[in-house]
Amino acid sequence: MADFHQTGIVTTLHRLTPNSIERLESDLEKFSRNKPIGLVLPALYSEFETPAMQRIVSELRQVRYLQRIVLALGRADRDQFERARSFFKDFYTPVTIIWVDSERVQNLLRMLEERGLSAGSDGKGRSCWLSYGYLLAKRDCGMVALHDCDIVNYDRQLLARLCYAIAHPHLPYEFSKGYYARVTDRMHGRVTRLFMTPLVRAMEGMAPGNAFLRYLDSFRYPLAGEFAMDINLARVNRIPANWGLEVGVLAEVFRNCSASRICQIDLTDNYEHKHQILSSDDTSKGLARMTLEIARSLFSTLASEGLVFTADHFRSLEVRYVRMAQDTLASYYADAMVNGLKFDRHAEELAVAAFARSLSLAASEFIESPRGLPLIPNWNRVLAAVPEFFDLFQDAVEKDQKRVAGRAA
């Protein structure tokens, strides 16, 4: 059963009623007349071979309030691009697929690299950034929503709830972050449960009153991949290219937006998507890599806010994190027992140990290179350096579409 308790400094919007999809979508159709809504879908081609993507496309086919959908397709050849486009045939909403690996798009990325405006390496962050750029270039959306393409139990009510607070003309919000439970016969979301939350709270204990840490700790699922924002935030926010995307987005919103204009919303009763491997002995993949990059992003953000880190600070943090994570694990064990869920305590302990190693490596890397990986520049910066970039980008994307369409015909 939902609660209606407000915690932290970020407004929480709960699921207190069944809230019929008909009412939500009817309202959004009205709201979108004044604030047109764009949807961004970052996807790999491999996701088009899963039931999750087929379900998402089927649900989105029924949506009538979107101005346009932009899907950034990664790791696809020409034939795969054609097949991905076929999923959206006869859609009510105009759908544009950015073929990230096309020669035209890659040439533009190389041009930016040569001008000192690197868009980072291949990944979700760059795909999101390109999609925002296309929406900004089209100049016909007042807000943008984003969700992942591996949601097994996707329902279009998730999208409606995600958009609602930003689209509503009488609500003050500019950024909305989704949250949800992730439960089957056991609890999932190990990186949030056993890494992100204990780490933030361990750091809060070492930096009492830090506004950014208090802000982060206000989010019930800070690593959720679903959020919506006013289009102007998409223009000014910088984006990390790696697994630190979600933390980096929250950091940029913190810099560019008043807390009174930020909210989080309960999207669905349960959320199921693909599960990453732990990869405890290899930090180049899986949850080990994810936690490493999240920690690096967090350290860089806090350093930019004036927090000083030394080797001694990091040694204390590692010990404090492990203690906080173990206490948190015990709380989840009790929660699982009360609800009759499976709980592999040994596996959870192994995850904490792996996350502690990632934290230690992230600390070492940060000491060697405090600035870390640069963020993708915001779109104002790009346009200041290359005023014609939006025109070049639109032309490249649209020529890719026409060439593929012509071949398919």
* Nearest Cα residue to 347 out of 197, 224, 194, 221: 194
- Given this model, what pLDDT does residue 233 score? 97
Contacts 24+ apart (CB under 8 A), 30-35: 31/65, 31/167, 31/168, 31/169, 32/65, 32/66, 32/67, 32/167, 34/142, 34/169, 35/142, 35/143, 35/166, 35/167, 35/169
**Residue appearing with tokens 């009153």:** 209
Q: Which two tokens stand for residue 369?
A: 């290179």
- Given this model, what pLDDT does residue 283 score? 79
- Given this model, what pLDDT does residue 40 score? 98
Q: Which amino acid is at 71?
A: L
The pTM (predicted TM-score) of the whole model is 0.95
Q: Which amino acid is at 389?
A: F
Which CATH number describes the domain made up of 11-408? 3.90.550.10
Q: Give the pLDDT of the chain (409 residues) as one tens digit per residue.
A: 468 889 899 999 999 988 799 999 999 999 999 999 999 999 999 999 999 999 999 999 999 999 999 999 999 999 999 999 999 999 999 999 999 999 999 999 999 999 999 998 899 999 999 999 999 999 999 999 999 999 999 999 999 999 999 999 999 999 999 999 999 999 999 999 999 999 999 999 989 999 999 999 999 999 999 999 999 999 999 988 776 789 999 999 999 999 999 999 999 988 988 778 888 778 778 999 999 999 998 999 899 888 889 999 999 999 999 999 999 999 999 999 999 999 999 999 999 999 999 999 999 999 998 877 788 999 999 999 999 999 999 999 999 988 655 554 4
**Cα–Cα dist 97/42, whole Å:** 10
**Cα–Cα dist 300/372, whole Å:** 7
Collapsed DSSP state (helix, strand, coil) of residue 20: coil
CA torsion 76→77→78→83, rounded to 10°? -50
* Nearest Cα residue to 124 out of 1, 10, 226: 226
Collapsed DSSP state (helix, strand, coil) of residue 12: strand
Q: Which two tokens stand for residue 117?
A: 């405006």
- Given this model, what pLDDT does residue 304 score? 87
Query: In sequence order, what DSSP letters do the residues of 155-217 get, joined into one string?
Result: -HHHHHHHHHHHH-TT---SEEEEEE--BSSBB--HHIIIIIHHHHHHHHHHSTT-HHHHHHH
CA distances from 383 to 47, 141, 237, 393 (A): 32, 18, 14, 12
Collapsed DSSP state (helix, strand, coil) of residue 102: coil
Phi first, then psi, for residue 57 (nearest 5°) are -60, -45
- Given this model, what pLDDT does residue 404 score? 55
Phi first, then psi, for residue 131 (nearest 5°) are -65, -40
Q: What does DSSP say about strands 66-74 and 95-99: parallel, antiparallel, or unpaired?
A: parallel
Q: Which two tokens stand for residue 168?
A: 């509503």
**Cα–Cα dist 260/173, whole Å:** 7
